[in-house]
Amino acid sequence: MIADSAVGRLIALLALAVFSGTLVTRLTDPLVAVLARDLGGTTARAALLASAFALPFALIQPILGPVGDAMGKRRVMTIAVGLLTLMLIACAAAPDLDSLLVLRALSGLAAGGLMPLAIALVGDSASMQERQVALSRLVACAITGQIAGGSLAGLLEPVLGWRGVMLAASGVAAIGFLTLLVGGRGFAREPRGQFKPLRAISAYGQLLRMPAARVLYISVAVEGGFVFGSFPYLALDLQQRGIGAAAEAGLAVAAFGAGGLIYAAIAKRVLGGIGQDRMVLLGGVLCLLSYIGFAFAPVAWVFIASGLLLGVGMYMIHNSIQTRVTEVAPHARGSAVALHAFHFFLGQTAGPVVYGLMLHYAGATPAFLFGGVCLLALGILLGHRGFRPAAG
Protein backbone atom coordinates (compact mmCIF):
# COMPACT_ATOMS: atom_id res chain seq x y z
CA MET A 1 0.00 0.00 0.00
CA ILE A 2 1.07 3.57 -0.58
CA ALA A 3 0.17 6.58 1.54
CA ASP A 4 -3.34 7.93 0.93
CA SER A 5 -1.81 11.23 -0.22
CA ALA A 6 -0.10 9.39 -3.09
CA VAL A 7 -3.30 7.71 -4.36
CA GLY A 8 -4.34 10.86 -6.25
CA ARG A 9 -0.93 10.96 -7.94
CA LEU A 10 -1.34 7.32 -8.98
CA ILE A 11 -4.77 8.04 -10.51
CA ALA A 12 -3.27 10.98 -12.42
CA LEU A 13 -0.53 8.67 -13.70
CA LEU A 14 -3.04 6.09 -14.93
CA ALA A 15 -5.70 8.52 -16.17
CA LEU A 16 -4.52 9.15 -19.75
CA ALA A 17 -3.76 5.49 -20.41
CA VAL A 18 -7.24 4.47 -19.22
CA PHE A 19 -8.82 7.36 -21.16
CA SER A 20 -7.02 6.39 -24.39
CA GLY A 21 -8.08 2.75 -24.00
CA THR A 22 -11.78 3.62 -23.78
CA LEU A 23 -11.53 6.50 -26.29
CA VAL A 24 -10.86 4.03 -29.12
CA THR A 25 -13.70 1.66 -28.15
CA ARG A 26 -16.43 3.62 -29.96
CA LEU A 27 -14.12 5.51 -32.33
CA THR A 28 -15.34 3.88 -35.55
CA ASP A 29 -19.08 3.88 -34.74
CA PRO A 30 -19.85 7.29 -36.33
CA LEU A 31 -17.44 6.60 -39.20
CA VAL A 32 -19.04 3.43 -40.60
CA ALA A 33 -20.51 5.04 -43.73
CA VAL A 34 -17.34 7.05 -44.42
CA LEU A 35 -15.09 4.01 -44.00
CA ALA A 36 -17.28 1.87 -46.25
CA ARG A 37 -17.15 4.52 -48.96
CA ASP A 38 -13.42 5.27 -48.72
CA LEU A 39 -12.21 1.68 -48.34
CA GLY A 40 -14.57 0.05 -50.79
CA GLY A 41 -16.73 -2.09 -48.51
CA THR A 42 -20.33 -2.33 -47.42
CA THR A 43 -21.66 -0.51 -44.38
CA ALA A 44 -22.57 -3.87 -42.83
CA ARG A 45 -18.95 -5.00 -43.13
CA ALA A 46 -17.65 -1.67 -41.81
CA ALA A 47 -19.98 -2.03 -38.82
CA LEU A 48 -18.02 -5.17 -37.88
CA LEU A 49 -15.16 -2.89 -36.81
CA ALA A 50 -16.88 -2.55 -33.42
CA SER A 51 -17.00 -6.33 -32.93
CA ALA A 52 -13.46 -6.70 -34.28
CA PHE A 53 -12.30 -4.50 -31.40
CA ALA A 54 -14.59 -5.76 -28.62
CA LEU A 55 -14.08 -9.53 -28.93
CA PRO A 56 -10.25 -9.50 -28.66
CA PHE A 57 -10.59 -6.90 -25.90
CA ALA A 58 -12.66 -9.39 -23.88
CA LEU A 59 -10.66 -12.51 -24.72
CA ILE A 60 -7.29 -11.02 -23.77
CA GLN A 61 -8.39 -10.31 -20.18
CA PRO A 62 -7.73 -13.80 -18.75
CA ILE A 63 -4.24 -13.74 -20.24
CA LEU A 64 -3.12 -10.24 -19.29
CA GLY A 65 -4.35 -10.51 -15.69
CA PRO A 66 -1.81 -13.14 -14.60
CA VAL A 67 0.84 -11.60 -16.87
CA GLY A 68 0.41 -8.36 -14.91
CA ASP A 69 0.60 -10.24 -11.61
CA ALA A 70 3.87 -11.87 -12.72
CA MET A 71 5.64 -9.06 -14.59
CA GLY A 72 4.21 -5.95 -12.92
CA LYS A 73 0.90 -4.31 -13.74
CA ARG A 74 2.31 -0.87 -14.50
CA ARG A 75 4.94 -2.41 -16.78
CA VAL A 76 2.34 -4.36 -18.76
CA MET A 77 0.10 -1.27 -18.99
CA THR A 78 3.01 0.75 -20.39
CA ILE A 79 3.68 -1.88 -23.05
CA ALA A 80 -0.05 -2.13 -23.86
CA VAL A 81 -0.59 1.61 -24.36
CA GLY A 82 2.61 1.78 -26.42
CA LEU A 83 1.29 -0.99 -28.69
CA LEU A 84 -2.08 0.76 -28.87
CA THR A 85 -0.32 3.89 -30.11
CA LEU A 86 1.39 1.92 -32.90
CA MET A 87 -1.82 0.11 -33.87
CA LEU A 88 -3.72 3.39 -34.18
CA ILE A 89 -1.00 4.82 -36.42
CA ALA A 90 -1.25 1.66 -38.52
CA CYS A 91 -5.06 2.03 -38.63
CA ALA A 92 -4.62 5.52 -40.07
CA ALA A 93 -2.56 4.01 -42.91
CA ALA A 94 -4.88 1.03 -43.59
CA PRO A 95 -5.21 0.52 -47.38
CA ASP A 96 -8.50 -1.43 -47.28
CA LEU A 97 -11.29 -2.52 -44.99
CA ASP A 98 -9.91 -6.01 -44.36
CA SER A 99 -6.62 -4.53 -43.15
CA LEU A 100 -8.49 -2.11 -40.90
CA LEU A 101 -10.51 -4.98 -39.39
CA VAL A 102 -7.30 -6.81 -38.50
CA LEU A 103 -5.71 -3.67 -37.05
CA ARG A 104 -8.83 -2.91 -35.00
CA ALA A 105 -8.62 -6.42 -33.56
CA LEU A 106 -4.97 -5.82 -32.62
CA SER A 107 -5.98 -2.48 -31.10
CA GLY A 108 -8.57 -4.33 -28.98
CA LEU A 109 -5.89 -6.72 -27.72
CA ALA A 110 -3.70 -3.76 -26.69
CA ALA A 111 -6.51 -1.73 -25.10
CA GLY A 112 -7.57 -4.79 -23.09
CA GLY A 113 -4.42 -4.42 -21.01
CA LEU A 114 -5.34 -1.02 -19.57
CA MET A 115 -8.51 -0.61 -17.47
CA PRO A 116 -8.51 -4.01 -15.66
CA LEU A 117 -4.82 -3.75 -14.75
CA ALA A 118 -5.31 -0.14 -13.64
CA ILE A 119 -8.10 -1.31 -11.30
CA ALA A 120 -5.85 -4.04 -9.93
CA LEU A 121 -2.98 -1.56 -9.47
CA VAL A 122 -5.22 0.77 -7.47
CA GLY A 123 -6.25 -2.27 -5.41
CA ASP A 124 -2.58 -3.00 -4.72
CA SER A 125 -1.83 0.59 -3.78
CA ALA A 126 -4.84 2.11 -2.01
CA SER A 127 -6.23 1.23 1.40
CA MET A 128 -9.80 -0.07 1.56
CA GLN A 129 -10.87 3.27 3.05
CA GLU A 130 -9.64 5.10 -0.09
CA ARG A 131 -10.10 2.39 -2.70
CA GLN A 132 -13.69 2.84 -3.84
CA VAL A 133 -13.36 6.62 -4.18
CA ALA A 134 -10.08 6.16 -6.09
CA LEU A 135 -11.72 3.61 -8.39
CA SER A 136 -14.68 5.93 -8.97
CA ARG A 137 -12.23 8.55 -10.29
CA LEU A 138 -10.64 5.95 -12.55
CA VAL A 139 -14.12 5.00 -13.79
CA ALA A 140 -14.77 8.69 -14.53
CA CYS A 141 -11.71 8.71 -16.82
CA ALA A 142 -12.98 5.59 -18.59
CA ILE A 143 -16.52 6.95 -19.03
CA THR A 144 -15.20 10.26 -20.35
CA GLY A 145 -13.15 8.34 -22.92
CA GLN A 146 -16.17 6.32 -24.02
CA ILE A 147 -18.32 9.43 -24.44
CA ALA A 148 -15.54 11.36 -26.19
CA GLY A 149 -14.63 8.55 -28.60
CA GLY A 150 -17.87 8.46 -30.54
CA SER A 151 -18.78 12.14 -30.26
CA LEU A 152 -15.36 13.57 -31.17
CA ALA A 153 -14.87 11.14 -34.04
CA GLY A 154 -18.11 12.36 -35.62
CA LEU A 155 -17.22 16.00 -35.05
CA LEU A 156 -13.59 15.81 -36.20
CA GLU A 157 -14.00 13.60 -39.27
CA PRO A 158 -15.23 16.44 -41.56
CA VAL A 159 -12.15 18.47 -40.56
CA LEU A 160 -9.41 15.85 -40.23
CA GLY A 161 -10.80 12.92 -42.21
CA TRP A 162 -11.08 9.47 -40.64
CA ARG A 163 -7.32 8.91 -40.96
CA GLY A 164 -6.73 12.16 -39.06
CA VAL A 165 -9.13 10.98 -36.35
CA MET A 166 -7.07 7.79 -35.94
CA LEU A 167 -3.85 9.81 -35.73
CA ALA A 168 -5.38 12.14 -33.14
CA ALA A 169 -6.35 9.12 -31.03
CA SER A 170 -2.82 7.74 -31.42
CA GLY A 171 -1.48 11.07 -30.13
CA VAL A 172 -3.59 10.74 -26.97
CA ALA A 173 -2.34 7.17 -26.47
CA ALA A 174 1.26 8.31 -27.03
CA ILE A 175 0.92 10.90 -24.27
CA GLY A 176 -0.49 8.19 -22.00
CA PHE A 177 2.49 5.98 -22.86
CA LEU A 178 5.01 8.73 -22.07
CA THR A 179 3.19 9.58 -18.83
CA LEU A 180 3.45 5.98 -17.63
CA LEU A 181 7.02 5.62 -18.84
CA VAL A 182 8.35 8.81 -17.24
CA GLY A 183 5.91 9.40 -14.39
CA GLY A 184 6.10 5.80 -13.21
CA ARG A 185 9.68 6.34 -12.10
CA GLY A 186 8.40 8.21 -9.09
CA PHE A 187 6.80 5.05 -7.69
CA ALA A 188 8.41 1.97 -6.16
CA ARG A 189 9.45 -0.72 -8.62
CA GLU A 190 7.00 -3.59 -8.86
CA PRO A 191 8.33 -7.08 -8.19
CA ARG A 192 9.09 -8.95 -11.38
CA GLY A 193 8.53 -12.65 -11.91
CA GLN A 194 7.94 -15.13 -14.70
CA PHE A 195 4.60 -15.77 -16.35
CA LYS A 196 3.71 -19.45 -15.99
CA PRO A 197 0.54 -20.46 -17.87
CA LEU A 198 -0.16 -23.53 -15.73
CA ARG A 199 0.09 -21.44 -12.58
CA ALA A 200 -2.29 -18.89 -14.13
CA ILE A 201 -4.83 -21.61 -14.95
CA SER A 202 -4.53 -22.94 -11.40
CA ALA A 203 -5.08 -19.45 -10.00
CA TYR A 204 -8.25 -19.07 -12.07
CA GLY A 205 -9.47 -22.42 -10.81
CA GLN A 206 -8.90 -21.31 -7.23
CA LEU A 207 -10.73 -18.04 -7.83
CA LEU A 208 -13.75 -19.77 -9.37
CA ARG A 209 -13.95 -22.13 -6.40
CA MET A 210 -14.29 -19.19 -4.02
CA PRO A 211 -17.96 -18.44 -3.18
CA ALA A 212 -17.15 -14.72 -2.80
CA ALA A 213 -15.60 -14.54 -6.26
CA ARG A 214 -18.44 -16.50 -7.90
CA VAL A 215 -21.06 -14.18 -6.43
CA LEU A 216 -19.22 -11.11 -7.72
CA TYR A 217 -18.52 -12.52 -11.19
CA ILE A 218 -22.10 -13.70 -11.70
CA SER A 219 -23.32 -10.32 -10.41
CA VAL A 220 -21.22 -8.29 -12.83
CA ALA A 221 -22.31 -10.50 -15.76
CA VAL A 222 -25.98 -10.03 -14.83
CA GLU A 223 -25.45 -6.29 -14.40
CA GLY A 224 -23.66 -5.93 -17.75
CA GLY A 225 -26.31 -7.98 -19.52
CA PHE A 226 -29.39 -6.20 -18.18
CA VAL A 227 -27.96 -2.69 -18.52
CA PHE A 228 -26.08 -2.75 -21.82
CA GLY A 229 -28.30 -5.41 -23.41
CA SER A 230 -31.15 -2.90 -23.63
CA PHE A 231 -29.20 -0.20 -25.47
CA PRO A 232 -29.50 -1.61 -29.03
CA TYR A 233 -33.30 -1.55 -28.72
CA LEU A 234 -33.80 1.97 -27.37
CA ALA A 235 -34.16 3.60 -30.79
CA LEU A 236 -36.61 0.93 -31.98
CA ASP A 237 -38.81 1.39 -28.91
CA LEU A 238 -38.77 5.19 -29.21
CA GLN A 239 -39.71 4.94 -32.87
CA GLN A 240 -42.53 2.48 -32.27
CA ARG A 241 -44.01 4.75 -29.62
CA GLY A 242 -43.61 7.83 -31.80
CA ILE A 243 -41.57 9.86 -29.29
CA GLY A 244 -38.16 9.73 -30.96
CA ALA A 245 -35.65 7.72 -32.96
CA ALA A 246 -31.88 7.27 -33.24
CA ALA A 247 -31.01 10.80 -32.09
CA GLU A 248 -33.02 10.52 -28.88
CA ALA A 249 -31.65 7.02 -28.23
CA GLY A 250 -28.13 8.41 -28.64
CA LEU A 251 -28.91 11.16 -26.15
CA ALA A 252 -30.22 8.58 -23.67
CA VAL A 253 -26.95 6.61 -23.96
CA ALA A 254 -24.93 9.84 -23.60
CA ALA A 255 -27.03 10.69 -20.53
CA PHE A 256 -26.17 7.26 -19.13
CA GLY A 257 -22.47 8.16 -19.43
CA ALA A 258 -23.15 11.51 -17.78
CA GLY A 259 -24.86 9.64 -14.94
CA GLY A 260 -21.65 7.69 -14.41
CA LEU A 261 -19.74 10.96 -14.13
CA ILE A 262 -22.29 12.25 -11.61
CA TYR A 263 -21.73 9.11 -9.56
CA ALA A 264 -17.97 9.65 -9.63
CA ALA A 265 -18.49 13.21 -8.38
CA ILE A 266 -20.76 12.20 -5.47
CA ALA A 267 -19.24 8.81 -4.58
CA LYS A 268 -17.15 10.01 -1.64
CA ARG A 269 -20.05 11.90 -0.07
CA VAL A 270 -22.55 9.07 -0.58
CA LEU A 271 -20.16 6.44 0.77
CA GLY A 272 -19.45 8.60 3.80
CA GLY A 273 -23.14 9.23 4.37
CA ILE A 274 -24.78 5.82 3.91
CA GLY A 275 -21.94 3.34 3.38
CA GLN A 276 -21.35 0.82 0.61
CA ASP A 277 -24.13 -1.58 1.65
CA ARG A 278 -26.93 0.95 1.42
CA MET A 279 -25.39 2.59 -1.64
CA VAL A 280 -25.53 -0.61 -3.68
CA LEU A 281 -29.17 -1.08 -2.62
CA LEU A 282 -29.89 2.52 -3.64
CA GLY A 283 -28.27 1.76 -6.98
CA GLY A 284 -30.72 -1.09 -7.52
CA VAL A 285 -33.67 1.18 -6.69
CA LEU A 286 -32.44 3.84 -9.15
CA CYS A 287 -32.01 1.20 -11.86
CA LEU A 288 -35.60 0.02 -11.34
CA LEU A 289 -36.90 3.61 -11.50
CA SER A 290 -34.92 4.24 -14.68
CA TYR A 291 -36.41 1.20 -16.40
CA ILE A 292 -39.89 2.22 -15.30
CA GLY A 293 -39.07 5.51 -17.02
CA PHE A 294 -37.98 3.69 -20.19
CA ALA A 295 -41.13 1.56 -20.14
CA PHE A 296 -43.67 4.36 -19.66
CA ALA A 297 -41.95 7.59 -20.82
CA PRO A 298 -44.63 9.75 -22.50
CA VAL A 299 -42.06 12.08 -24.11
CA ALA A 300 -38.43 11.84 -25.18
CA TRP A 301 -36.98 13.97 -22.38
CA VAL A 302 -38.34 11.55 -19.74
CA PHE A 303 -36.71 8.69 -21.66
CA ILE A 304 -33.38 10.58 -21.78
CA ALA A 305 -33.61 11.49 -18.08
CA SER A 306 -34.14 7.79 -17.35
CA GLY A 307 -30.81 7.11 -19.07
CA LEU A 308 -29.14 9.58 -16.71
CA LEU A 309 -30.73 7.88 -13.69
CA LEU A 310 -29.61 4.47 -14.97
CA GLY A 311 -26.01 5.69 -15.21
CA VAL A 312 -25.97 6.86 -11.59
CA GLY A 313 -27.63 3.66 -10.31
CA MET A 314 -25.61 1.24 -12.41
CA TYR A 315 -22.26 2.71 -11.36
CA MET A 316 -23.29 2.63 -7.69
CA ILE A 317 -23.56 -1.13 -8.15
CA HIS A 318 -20.67 -1.61 -10.57
CA ASN A 319 -18.08 0.40 -8.67
CA SER A 320 -18.98 -1.46 -5.48
CA ILE A 321 -18.48 -4.81 -7.24
CA GLN A 322 -15.13 -3.58 -8.59
CA THR A 323 -13.98 -2.63 -5.12
CA ARG A 324 -14.93 -5.99 -3.61
CA VAL A 325 -13.23 -7.87 -6.48
CA THR A 326 -9.93 -6.17 -5.65
CA GLU A 327 -10.07 -7.77 -2.19
CA VAL A 328 -11.14 -11.30 -3.13
CA ALA A 329 -7.59 -12.53 -3.84
CA PRO A 330 -4.92 -9.93 -2.92
CA HIS A 331 -2.17 -12.38 -3.93
CA ALA A 332 -3.57 -12.57 -7.50
CA ARG A 333 -5.34 -9.25 -7.87
CA GLY A 334 -4.63 -8.88 -11.61
CA SER A 335 -6.15 -12.29 -12.30
CA ALA A 336 -9.19 -11.55 -10.10
CA VAL A 337 -9.90 -8.24 -11.87
CA ALA A 338 -9.29 -9.82 -15.29
CA LEU A 339 -11.99 -12.42 -14.60
CA HIS A 340 -14.27 -9.59 -13.46
CA ALA A 341 -13.78 -7.77 -16.79
CA PHE A 342 -14.23 -11.03 -18.73
CA HIS A 343 -17.57 -11.77 -17.06
CA PHE A 344 -18.69 -8.16 -17.54
CA PHE A 345 -18.14 -8.45 -21.29
CA LEU A 346 -19.76 -11.90 -21.41
CA GLY A 347 -22.84 -10.31 -19.86
CA GLN A 348 -22.80 -7.53 -22.42
CA THR A 349 -22.55 -10.12 -25.18
CA ALA A 350 -25.51 -12.15 -23.93
CA GLY A 351 -27.65 -9.16 -22.92
CA PRO A 352 -28.90 -8.12 -26.38
CA VAL A 353 -29.91 -11.73 -27.10
CA VAL A 354 -31.94 -11.94 -23.88
CA TYR A 355 -33.63 -8.58 -24.48
CA GLY A 356 -34.30 -9.53 -28.10
CA LEU A 357 -36.13 -12.68 -27.02
CA MET A 358 -38.13 -10.78 -24.38
CA LEU A 359 -39.09 -8.10 -26.91
CA HIS A 360 -40.18 -10.73 -29.41
CA TYR A 361 -42.31 -12.74 -26.98
CA ALA A 362 -43.46 -10.14 -24.44
CA GLY A 363 -42.89 -6.65 -25.84
CA ALA A 364 -40.78 -3.65 -24.78
CA THR A 365 -42.62 -2.66 -21.59
CA PRO A 366 -42.39 -6.09 -19.88
CA ALA A 367 -38.78 -6.42 -21.04
CA PHE A 368 -37.76 -3.10 -19.50
CA LEU A 369 -39.65 -3.83 -16.28
CA PHE A 370 -38.09 -7.28 -15.98
CA GLY A 371 -34.62 -5.77 -16.43
CA GLY A 372 -35.33 -3.19 -13.73
CA VAL A 373 -36.63 -5.80 -11.28
CA CYS A 374 -33.55 -7.98 -11.88
CA LEU A 375 -31.21 -5.06 -11.19
CA LEU A 376 -33.15 -4.19 -8.00
CA ALA A 377 -32.83 -7.83 -6.92
CA LEU A 378 -29.11 -7.66 -7.61
CA GLY A 379 -28.80 -4.55 -5.43
CA ILE A 380 -30.69 -6.28 -2.61
CA LEU A 381 -28.54 -9.42 -2.90
CA LEU A 382 -25.25 -7.51 -2.89
CA GLY A 383 -26.38 -5.27 -0.03
CA HIS A 384 -27.28 -8.31 2.07
CA ARG A 385 -24.81 -9.35 4.77
CA GLY A 386 -22.84 -6.15 4.33
CA PHE A 387 -22.10 -6.93 0.66
CA ARG A 388 -19.39 -9.30 1.85
CA PRO A 389 -20.11 -12.90 0.85
CA ALA A 390 -17.99 -15.32 2.84
CA ALA A 391 -14.73 -16.15 1.13
CA GLY A 392 -14.23 -19.76 0.20
Spatial distance between the Cα atoms of 51 and 298, rounded to a whole number of angstroms? 34
- The domain locations on the chain are 4-186, 199-387
Q: Pick the closest to residue 152 from 31, 248, 51 (CA basis).
A: 31
> Cβ neighbours of residue 146 under 8 Å, at least 6 residues apart?
22, 23, 25, 26, 257
pLDDT score at 195 = 67
DSSP at 2: -
CATH code for the structural domain at 199-387: 1.20.1250.20
Instruction: Compute the C-alpha angle 282/287/293, nearest 5°.
Output: 130
Specify the CATH architecture of the domain 4-186.
Answer: Up-down Bundle (1.20)
Per-residue CA distances from 52 to 63, 171, 365 (Å): 18, 22, 32
pLDDT in tens, the chain (392 residues): 545 557 777 888 888 899 998 888 878 877 888 888 898 888 778 877 877 887 888 888 888 888 887 788 888 999 999 999 999 999 999 999 999 999 999 999 999 888 888 888 888 777 777 788 888 888 888 888 877 887 788 788 888 999 999 999 999 999 999 998 887 666 666 666 666 777 777 878 888 888 888 999 999 999 988 998 888 788 788 888 999 876 788 788 888 889 988 998 899 899 889 988 899 999 999 999 999 999 999 999 999 999 999 999 999 999 999 888 888 877 777 788 888 888 887 888 788 888 888 988 999 999 999 999 999 999 999 987 555 544 44
Q: Pick the closest to residue 332 from 193, 142, 188, 219 (CA basis).
A: 193
Q: Is the dihedral of CA 344, 151, 303, 307 positive or negative?
A: positive
pLDDT score at 244 = 84
4-186 against 199-387: fold identical = yes
- In terms of phi and psi (left: phi > 0; alpha: psi -120 to 50; beta: otherwise), the region of 275 is left
- Answer whether 184's CB lies under 8 Å from 74's CB: yes
pLDDT score at 334 = 78
> Cβ neighbours of residue 202 under 8 Å, at least 6 residues apart?
none
pLDDT score at 379 = 95
Strands (E), the chain: none
User: pTM here?
Assistant: 0.77
